[in-house]
Amino acid sequence: MTTTVGQYLSARLGQIGLKHHFAVAGDFNLILLDELLAEGSTKQIYSCNELNCGYSAEGYGRANGAAAMVVTFSVGALSAMNAIGSAYAENVPVIIVSGAPNTNDHGTGHLLHHTLGNTNYGYQAEMMRHITCAAEVIFSAEHAPQQIDNAIRTALRERKPAYIEIPCNLANAACAAPGPVSSLLSEPAADPASLDAALEETGRFLYARDKVVLLVGSRMRASGVIDLLPALADRMGCAVTVMAAAKGFFPEDHPAYRGVYWGEVSSPGAQELVESADGILCLGPIFNDYATVGWRATLKPENTLLADLHGITVNGRVFEGFSIRQYLEALSARAPRRAGSAETPRQPLPTIAPAPRDARLTNDEMTRQINTLIDGNTTLTAETGDSWFNAVRMDLPGGAKVESEMQWGSIGWSVPAALGGALGAPDRRHVLMVGDGSFQLTAQEVAQMVRYELPIIIFLVNNHGYVIEIKIHDGPYNYIKNWDYAGLIAAFNAEDGHGLGLRATTAGELAGAIEQAKANTRGPTLIECDLDRSDCTETLVKWGTKVAAANGRAPKVN
């Protein structure tokens, strides 16, 4: 049996569980897009530009386990690289496919459009190799199946993006048809000797400790075993905290949950609990400057077991040859009970009293009302900035999810990411919190929410500038031109859309807007929340001061 290169790729994307792929058309990928449509395993979703396309794919990959996007050569793929960097940093397997020049133009001296103006057409793949786990440049239809499979297999195993470059004259060239997909989806078997030794060393670590805490990090999203954590906590009998970027990775209504550990801006009691523990099981953490509040929150190595995606470090020894899934599955069956930390009661989050309906809208009241909207079937996407801190201080029901981008931290990510998440998990309610400055970077993608009738509820926090940057380091560059954000929806709707644009200046107006949003099921609802520029969380101010101090350290003198 034979197929075409483009249809082979399309079939594989469907086989790994994708129902959609994202695309921006360009003349080097048009035949490829035709082939994907003809094979039809995944629905083609169009983006306003390649950056938004990549962020949408990244959001889809978070919800669905993997994602794919198709762009054109150079002018398209280079624009997408910011989003691919995000997928790499955040451990999301996005397959980025780029159309490319005709194979006959290589080595001829032909000067092509959409290039750097020279005849070396390998620069794009070379760039992509730095932000992907596999980069395949296809030059023959015969070898295309193996190269496509290698890119997809590596992305799924490494939980990183992968790159496939398909010349425009090979997209419809004949190649072998795909066989079973099991080899792409299967996880390599664990090294039994290494895994057993790791578990024995883990046992020695735990038995020697009186007060053990589980600390869940953001890389656990990529592990695929978040659902195992409650059972592990039950077996061990210990308390559980999560890092800020892992908010929602452990059910907050579970009796073991003790809040968010974020150094000096932790949930009440969480910092003392973690930093006083003599045994900390760190599962998939990222200890960057943001997570450590400018390198101020550090854990003692001798008290810490570090479990990453492909191995663990414990008692000064490193064990590899197995995945974190295989390790935690085995640990859940063998872990000793260590209940010391569980005796420390959970301290409640500060409550926010409801404001009078005619009161000027505040950040606290906005957060309180959004919190009441969230149920166990809600995904909350929180943009870089005060939305992080508002999400962290919410008290979430079990099943609620939070998506943020604290490692890459590129403003504007959340709008297209929420679109991708809504397509990847259509049965969930999707709520987005985004600031006005971030929104201006990727606002066009709301038009695609209108196009695909996605009922995302957007809380546009209009505090008239880049407030997170103002708190870190102020300057005239942090102040932006105000828009009529709610008014944009009418333009995006044009003659056939069902989006809704609302504006709230009081507590009562916000409550009414939320009720209208819940009833609007055929498109997005954007609620512009008008806040004073100085109105933000106390934790943002405290955190921003510490991060600014870390950024401002003087150079070392040799």
Q: Which residues are annotated as a binding site for Mg(2+)?
A: 436, 463, 465
Compute the distance between CA of residue 415 and CA of residue 417 in angstroms, rounded to an integer.
5
507-519 and 363-373 helices cross at what angle (nearest 10)? 30
268 Cβ neighbours under 8 A, 6+ residues apart: 259, 347, 348, 349, 350
Compute the distance between CA of residue 421 and CA of residue 441 in angstroms, rounded to an integer.
19
Compute the distance between CA of residue 451 and CA of residue 118 in angstroms, rounded to an integer.
39
| CA 311 remoteness from chain centre | 22
| CA 465 remoteness from chain centre | 24
Token pair belonging to 382? 């929180």
Q: Please provide residue 536's backbone torsions phi and psi, each rounded to the nearest 5 degrees.
A: -150, 175
Helix, strand or coil, per DSSP, at residue 348: coil
| CA 282 remoteness from chain centre | 20
Residue 460, beta-bridge partner list:
434, 528
522-555 burial code (b ≥16 CB/10 A, e <16): ebbbbbbbbbeeebbbebbbbbbebbeeeeeeee
Token pair belonging to 61? 């990959």
| CA 468 remoteness from chain centre | 20
Q: Please provide residue 382's backbone torsions phi and psi, each rounded to the nearest 5 degrees.
A: -115, 120
One-character DSSP codes across 93-162: -EEEEEEE--GGGTTS----TTS-SSS---HHHHHHTTSSSEEEE---TTTHHHHHHHHHHHHHHHTS-E
Alpha-carbon dihedral sign for residues 452, 458, 463, 467: negative
Give the Å distances, CA to CA, from 303 to 232, 255, 278, 316, 488: 19, 24, 5, 10, 53
